[in-house]
Structures are given as C-alpha cells and as structure tokens.
Amino acid sequence: MASNHSTEEQRPVRHKVEGPKKHIISFIFSILLTLIAFAAVAGGEINTDFIYIILIGCAILQVFVQMAFWMHMKDRGHTFAIIGILFGVFVVFTCVIMAEYWAWW
C-alpha cells in the first residue's frame, strides 16, 4: 500500500491527462482531408491522374494523423505496434502491386 503510494507520487507529471484539444484538431484535419478528396471528385474537370494523386495523398495523410493521435502510436512503448502494422503494410503493398501487375500487364 505504502509502496504503491510512493510510486504514484514519483511521477506526478504523468497525471496531467492530455486534454481533448489535439484530438479535436485531428478530427478537423481528418474532415478537411475528406472534404478535399470528395471535392476533387465532385468538382470533375481536373485530369484523372491528378485526382488519383490527390485522393491517395489525402488518404495516407489522414490515416497517418489518425494512427498517430487516435490510436496513440506516437506515444511511448509502441515500437512493436509500429513493427506489426508496418509488416502488415509491407504485405499489403506486395499484394496490391502483384494483383495490379497480374490484371493490367
């Protein structure tokens, strides 16, 4: 009991719980990126390849923001989480490139 108490008091800084601010900023950022993506498609008149680049760019950026802040990947102790996800992403890219190659060339 006493030892528990002292360990809690050794790190008082960590008791300052993060506010909702950065999550609301992430949310607004996500909404903006989504709006850009939808507007690029609804707007029409742009070059198709250019729209594709905008779409993929917005998606990757949004996922990066959400994983860093909402899934807490920017916090300490997430090394294995990052390795796990990166390995998954590596396999995904292999699959996608292979499937595209098989389908189009």
Partner 1 sequence: MSAHSHTEGQLPHEPEKATLEGRNKILGFWLFLGAETVLFGTLFSAFLALRDQVLDGPKSQELFELPLVALATGLLLTSSLTSVFATQALHMHKVKAMIWWLVVTVILGLGFLGLEIYEFSNYVHEGHGFTTSAFSSSFYTLVGFHGAHVAFGIVWISLLIGQLAKKGLTVTTAPKAYVAGIYWHFIDVVWVFIFTVVYLMGKVG
For partner 1, the binding residues (CB under 8 A) are: 4-5, 8, 11, 14-15, 17-18, 20, 23-24, 27, 30-31, 34, 37-38, 40-42, 48, 51-52, 55-56, 58-59, 62-63, 66-67, 69-72, 77-78, 80-81, 84-85, 87-89, 91-93, 95-96, 98-100, 102-103
Q: How far is the CB of 63 from partner 1 (least distance, A)?
A: 5
Contacting residues for 59 by C-beta, under 8 A, at least 6 apart: 33, 37
d(CA 75, CA 62): 18
Could you tell me how far CA 98 lies from the centroid of its own chain? Answer: 25
